[in-house]
Amino acid sequence: MKKIFLLFGFAILIILSKGCSDKLDLSQFDTASGSGNSVGDTVYIQMSPVWEGYNHPNDIFIGHEPFVYIADTDNDRIVMLNVAGVYLGERKVKKPVAITQDYKLNLIVCAQFDTVLSTGETKTFSAVYKYDMVSAGHHIADAPVTRLLPRTVDLNRPLRQYTGITAFPDNTFYVARTGPDNASYIDPDNSILLFAPKSMYGGGTGDTLIGRVPNIDPLSSGLVSAYQISSIHSLQKKDSKDFIVTLTGDNSFKAQWLTYVETSEKSAYESKLEAASSAFMKVDKFSKPMGATFDSYNNIYIVDAAKDSVFKFNTFGEELQSFGGPKVFNAPHAVAWFDKTLYVADTYNNRILRFVLSTEIK
């Protein structure tokens, strides 16, 4: 009965968030200020108002409810909005940098925590938290929290950083980890970690760390690499394990679409697109990509903090309507897509921007 009540409550919240949405009329756009960006006959148009009041936001995620979650890094909080930008709540957490949601509506966040060592020294570590939104009736401030990482053994590796996270429809999820110690074949810092529900392995509640995703090279300058992953985002399609990674290491392909291939000979990730086969796979196409997402058509969006730009590609890696520049963005770190709208964390301008294609305006 409790689950039915909660689901009914979620439905009411979604209806209310839709009812507060911006009406899509031309008066809410500012095409004369340089916020529209032409690509052929198509223009990206910035929606108003700008969402301000943030301090170096590093990630933005559209949940399955749908609500908007922003990792407001230097304000030490996760902010929860509806899709129209109406504030719904927040949760304090130190330096959040990445956020996702599993299919049970739990939030999973990469952030930091402080602990006192046996020496009496207070030390800050990168961390991963999970918030049970359902049990709190979706009040983010009250959601019970579990710290998944670091484990006790990880406290011996204080330079490890958890930089990205993404979930799959079976409620498994991947955590991207970076760090300077990559000599170990067994446990290099640059890795993707796999978590799965304990119920998949004989029962119990919560999640368990299965281990590193195999056959992803920690220092490769080529394909299928975990060389300083800055973000990770799954395709979010049933029965798919595909994901996009962005990388800031010394790599020729700083954004990669990895697809899981299972045959009689191997079971491993490989590049979905062939090297240099398209604009997406052009050597040194990106400088400092920090975030990625897919839309409902499986088009790919990459934000490049060094180029102050959003790049868009189709499923073949062909470049579509890319746009930006320093008059539009200042080091964008994240991008999300929902209902024909593109959301961009304009990180060094301390704001969230929204865009629609001119072809979507009725």
- CA-CA distance, 59 to 348, in Å (whole number)? 12
At 161-190, the pLDDT tens digits run: 999 999 999 999 999 999 999 999 999 999
Q: Is the dihedral of CA 112, 116, 119, 121 positive or negative?
A: positive
The residue type at 135: S
At 273-303, the pLDDT tens digits run: 998 889 999 999 999 999 999 999 999 999 9
pTM: 0.88
Bridging pattern class, strands 341-346 and 334-338: antiparallel
- Structural domain range at position 41: 2-360
Mean pLDDT of 114-141: 94
Rama region for 237: left / alpha / beta (φ>0; ψ in -120 to 50; rest): beta
Count of structural domains, the chain: 1
Q: Please report, for the domain that includes residue 52, its CATH number.
A: 2.120.10.30
Structure tokens at 358: 């001119």
Mean pLDDT of 83-94: 97
Q: Is the dihedral of CA 36, 39, 41, 44 positive or negative?
A: negative
State residue 20's pLDDT score: 42
At 295-337, the pLDDT tens digits run: 999 999 999 999 999 999 999 999 998 999 999 999 999 999 9
pLDDT top residue among 123 and 30: 123
At 249-266, the pLDDT tens digits run: 999 999 999 999 988 888
Residue keyed to tokens 């980890």: 177
Which of 80, 77, 53 has the alpha carbon at shortest distance from 69? Answer: 80
